[in-house]
Amino acid sequence: MTRPRVAVHKFSSCDGCQLAFLNLGETLLQLNEQVDILHFLEAGMNDASADVDIAFVEGSLSTPDELTRIRQVRANSRYLVSIGACATSGGLQALRNLDGNHDEWRDAIYARPEFIRTLKEVRPIAAEVRVDLELWGCPVSSTQILAAIRALLFGVAPVDDRDRVCLECKRQQAVCVMVTQGIPCMGPVTRTGCGALCPRFGRDCYGCYSPSETAQTATLARRFSGLGLLPDAIARRFWLINSQAPPFLQTGRVFHRSAASDPDD
């Protein structure tokens, strides 16, 4: 029996989600006994056009070339899994979509902007091709990756845990930073998966795993306001790593606007 074939593709990103593979330690060698890794540039495998069973895609789409590449990846893959915030929501760099001033930014940074070919907006993978499974997180963890491979190889639907960080926090018996210290924590509206890392470290969750199910963002924003945050600061809470995820985008926009109309300047 041939082993299932796997590819790891990189688009616009920091390389951090690929480390979920490279940081596996000896498990990486065991994984290789169970699957055939055909394409993974950073690890030294180079066969971008290979037909595979599972393609993992890191990064967002931000150039015309990347649009062509992702269509090819889709055509060559049985399952396409987007890994991390960039691939699933556009990530931190999608902040440039909010201002709509990409051209100006590019011209400010590059002396020869005519050589920089980029799309006006950063897009998640699913904006261009069908995605079979989205793994959220900035970064995703090795556990998420291995669980996804296992589920797909067994032909079962992977568990899509959209619970809140808040619930994980309670399970871990961490002290609530918002209730006890008045810190504006995004835990009530953020998807679990990190193990409630930030609250356990005594700090605010900053939403890197994207919106949870039924995220009550407007309610949380009002709570932030009650804690003394100005509208601009509230907008910044929602417009960070997953600014393009609809509930965060929407609530950020409400408070960004209200900050803009504030007469305090």
Partner 1 sequence: MTSRRIRIDVPALTRVEGEGSLRLEVRQDQLIELGLSIFEPPRYFEKFLEGREAEEVVDIVARICGICPVAYQISALNALESMSRQMASPWVRSMRRAFYCGEWLQSHALHIHLLALPDFLGFENAIAMAERHPNMVKRGLKLQGLGNALVRLFGGRSVHPVGARLGGFHHAPAPDEVTALADRLKAAQQDAGDLTRFCASLPLPDDPQTFICVALHHPDRYAIESGEIRTSTGLNLSANQFEQHFHETHKPDSTALWSDLDGQPYLTGPLARLNINHPQLPDFLLTRLGEIGLELPSCNMFHSLIARALEIELVLHEAIQLLNDYTYPKSPYTALPLEPGIGYGMSEAPRGLLWHRYELDEKGLIRAARIVPPTSQNQARIEADLHHSLTTMGLDNGEDVLKLRAEQVIRNYDPCISCSTHFLTLKKVET
Burial class (CB in 10 A: 0-12, 13-18, 19+), 213: exposed
Asked if residue 241 binds partner 1 (CB under 8 A), the reply is yes
User: CA 80 to CA 134: how far, in whole Å?
Assistant: 9
Name, in order, each residue with C-beta under 8 angstroms of 186's C-beta and a sequence gap of 6 or more: 165, 204, 205, 206, 207, 220, 237
Asked if residue 153 binds partner 1 (CB under 8 A), the reply is no
Q: How far is the CB of 110 from partner 1 (least distance, A)?
A: 5
- Figure out which of the listed residues 7, 198, 215, 249 binds partner 1, where binding follows CB under 8 A: 198
> Looking only at residues 155 through 174 of this chain, which bind partner 1 when binding is defined by CB under 8 A?
none
Name, in order, each residue with C-beta under 8 angstroms of 89's C-beta and a sequence gap of 6 or more: 124, 136, 210, 242, 243, 244, 245
Q: What are the two backbone dihedrals, phi and then psi, of residue 8, each rounded to the nearest 5 degrees?
A: -125, 120
Strands 5-10 and 77-83, bridge-based pairing: unpaired
Number of residues that bind partner 1 (CB under 8 A): 61
Nearer to partner 1, 75 or 116 (CB): 116
Asked if residue 15 binds partner 1 (CB under 8 A), the reply is yes
Number of Cβ atoms within 10 Å of the Cβ of 4: 16
User: CA 94 to CA 60: how far, in whole Å?
Assistant: 8
- Figure out which of the listed residues 6, 12, 178, 212 binds partner 1, where binding follows CB under 8 A: 12
SS3 label, residue 217: helix
Site track for partner 1 across 34-63, x = CB under 8 A = ---x---xxxxxx-x-------------xx
Selected range binding partner 1 among 150-158, 184-192, 200-208, 218-226, rule: CB under 8 A:
200-208
> Looking only at residues 89 through 118 of this chain, which bind partner 1 when binding is defined by CB under 8 A?
91-93, 95-96, 102, 105-112, 115-116, 118
Asked if residue 229 binds partner 1 (CB under 8 A), the reply is no
Asked if residue 73 binds partner 1 (CB under 8 A), the reply is no
Structure tokens, 12: 């616009």
User: CA 75 to CA 163: how far, in whole Å?
Assistant: 32
Asked if residue 19 binds partner 1 (CB under 8 A), the reply is yes
Residues found near partner 1 in the complex (CB under 8 A): 10, 12-20, 22-23, 25-26, 28-29, 32, 37, 41-46, 48, 62-63, 66, 91-93, 95-96, 102, 105-112, 115-116, 118, 138-139, 141, 194, 197-198, 200-203, 206, 208, 233, 236, 240-241
